[in-house]
Structure 1
């Protein structure tokens, strides 16, 4: 999970992952999404591949990349406990806001 978290920390890699979530793309198609040179795109793709976030297959002379959702599901599962904590706090805040509105109405 650590490698996946480090990989998604970069905005360019997040753009690539977001687009790959809609289907496979070639390295060239991914390069068109970013305002960086091809060697930079290749480095980003290597990081994503090493983190297990993408698979690559060769199609003639092209490399086709596809998303591997398992590492992202692992991150989502880990974040679940924090999501629950924040939801509880937001629910409590909502209750306090509603209580304050009721008190203001009743004091008028």
Structure 2
């Protein structure tokens, strides 16, 4: 259950970070509402996940998921650069996340 909560927290973190692009310094109502709700949700779900998962593992996976998700969205939706160094760096983060999951003793 902890890993499902962590997955949900990571997805919520991605929504939070992407919504920052649209809220224009919290001057736009609905993007600001999305930012607030997704940010609170992300932290809450992380808090629930660390009840059963090691803190270091959960936090690293949570931040990694957010970083990878936002980077991929940046490339796909916002046409940010997709050179080989950027893509390789994203893959290193993914490898780290998978490694943390694989080495977690249940």
Q: Same fold (TM over 0.5)?
A: no
TM-score (structure 2 length as normaliser): 0.30
More helix by share: 2
Q: TM-score, normalised by structure 1?
A: 0.30
Higher Cα radius of gyration: 1
